[in-house]
Amino acid sequence: GFRLDAGGYLNLAADSLHNFTDGIAIGASFVGGKNMGIATTLSVLVHELPHEIGDFAILIQNGAKPAQAIGLQFCTAFFAFAGTALGLTSANYDNMSEFLLALVSGGFVYVATMTVLPELQVGKSSLGQIFLEVSAFSAGVGMMVIVAALE
């Protein structure tokens, strides 16, 4: 039979919402232009690969068999299609794609600052480690600036 612990269900709910917002970002980006849409799609693809591997591991740890975990991951992927449809539909409304992109971008920044950065501060870090972390964060911001400038 199928048995999944509470952490697995929480992961599925969070991953579904996460995929929905990724889909909104992709759809609304294509409304803003082909190049913006391609850049957004590529960046979502790059961050989703390790993210989905992590989700797979969480599902396994919470009682799913590997085949079940893969099937559950595919189920959460359908939310990305729903989000993409919503993002693409925003073309029919004035300034809706800009609103959706701002909302999703704000969510991404919130997640980065409230969940990722505190994790980096756990324990004592060497000066070299701090330099690497700040450099990586700055490179990410720099890449966003470059993409925005090329639009």
User: pLDDT digits over 69-97, tens only?
Assistant: 999 999 999 999 999 999 999 999 988 88
Instruction: Report the predicted TM-score, pTM, of the whole model to 2 decimal places.
Output: 0.77
Of 27, 34, 23, the closest CA to residue 91 belongs to 27
* pLDDT for 151: 66
Q: Average pLDDT by consecutive 10-residue portion of the chain (151 residues)?
A: 89 93 94 91 90 93 95 95 95 89 84 72 77 86 82 66
* pLDDT for 2: 77
For residues 86-124, one letter each, b for 16 or more C-beta atoms within 10 angstroms of the residue's C-beta and e for the rest, the string is: bbbebeeeeebbeebbeebeeeeeeeeeeeeeeeeeeee
* pLDDT for 78: 96
* pLDDT for 143: 86
Of 56, 80, 66, 67, the closest CA to residue 8 belongs to 56
Distances (CA, A) of 120 to 138, 140, 141, 143: 15, 16, 17, 21
Tell me if 37 sits within 8 A of 97, measured CB to CB: no
